[in-house]
A and B are shown apart, each in its own frame.
Chain A
Amino acid sequence: MIGRVATLALAALLAGAVSGPALAEKGSAEKGLAQTVYAVSQEGGTVTPVAPSGAAIPVGKGPAQVAAGPDGRLYLAHSDTHTVSVVDGPSGAVLARLPFAGQPFGVAVAPDGRSLFVGDWSGARVVRLSTATGAVEGSVGVGRDPAGLVLDTRGLLYVADRESRQVSVVDTATMTRIATVPVGEGPFALALNPAQDRLYVACVRSGDLHAIDTATLTIVGRAALGGMPYGVAVSGDGARILVTNQQAGTLVVLDAALTPVATIPVGRYPEGVAVSGDRAYVANWFSDSVSVIDLPTLTETARLPVGEGPRGLAVLMSKEIP
Chain B
Amino acid sequence: MRLVAPTVFLALFALATPVTPVLAHGPTPQKVDQSVTIAAKPEAVWKVVGTFAAIDTWHPDVARSEAVDGNAAGGRRKVTLKNGGTLDEGLDEMNDKTFTYSYRLSDADLKALPVSSYSATLTVTPDGDGSKVEWLGRFYRGDTGNEPPEELSDAAGKTAMNAYFGNGLKGLKAKVEGGKAK
Contact = CB atoms under 8 A, between A and B. Distances in A.
Interface of A: 42-43, 62, 64, 79-80, 82, 103, 105, 121-122, 145, 162-163, 165, 182, 184-186, 198, 204-205, 207, 211, 219-222, 226-228, 246-248, 256-259, 268-269, 285-286, 309, 311
B102 A248 contact: yes
Given A42-B28, A79-B27, A103-B27, A211 B11 contact: no
A165 B28 contact: no
B8 A247 contact: no
A268 B7 CA distance: 32
B31 to A, nearest CB: 6
Contact of A182 (B15, B102, B119): B15
B71 to A, nearest CB: 17
B88 interface: no
A222 B145 CA distance: 32
A283 to B, nearest CB: 12
B24 interface: yes
Interface string B116-142: 000101000000000000001010000
Given A248-B93, A286-B31, A122 B145 contact: yes
Contacts of B31: 43, 286, 309
A105 B140 CA distance: 15
Nearest to A144: B22
B90 to A, nearest CB: 10
Contacts of B73: 226
Contacts of A256: 1
Contacts of A207: 92
B119 A82 contact: no
A62 B28 contact: yes
B59 interface: no
A256 B2 CA distance: 9
A221 B1 contact: yes
B45 to A, nearest CB: 21
Contacts of A258: 1-2
A220 B119 contact: no
A247 B24 contact: no
A301 B13 CA distance: 43
Given A80-B146, A222-B8, A258-B2, A121 B27 contact: yes
Interface in B1-52: 1-4, 7-8, 11-12, 15, 22-29, 31, 33
A247 B102 contact: yes
A308 B113 CA distance: 24
Nearest to A257: B2
A62 B121 CA distance: 25
Given A163-B22, A228-B92, A247-B102, A122 B1 contact: no
Given A103-B27, A122-B145, A257 B92 contact: no
A227 B28 contact: no
A80 B119 contact: no
Given A80-B146, A105-B27, A182-B15, 19 more contacts: A42-B28, A64-B27, A80-B28, A82-B146, A103-B27, A121-B27, A163-B24, A182-B12, A185-B15, A204-B25, A220-B3, A222-B8, A228-B104, A246-B138, A247-B102, A247-B104, A248-B93, A248-B102, A286-B31
B144 interface: yes
A165 B12 CA distance: 10
A244 B136 CA distance: 19
Contact of A309 (B1, B3, B23, B29): B29
Interface in B147-177: none
A15 to B, nearest CB: 14
A226 to B, nearest CB: 7
Contact of A219 (B8, B23, B121, B138): B8
A103 B146 CA distance: 7
A246 B119 contact: yes
Nearest to A205: B23
Contacts of A198: 1
A211 B102 contact: no
Contacts of B138: 246, 269, 285-286
A2 B7 CA distance: 35
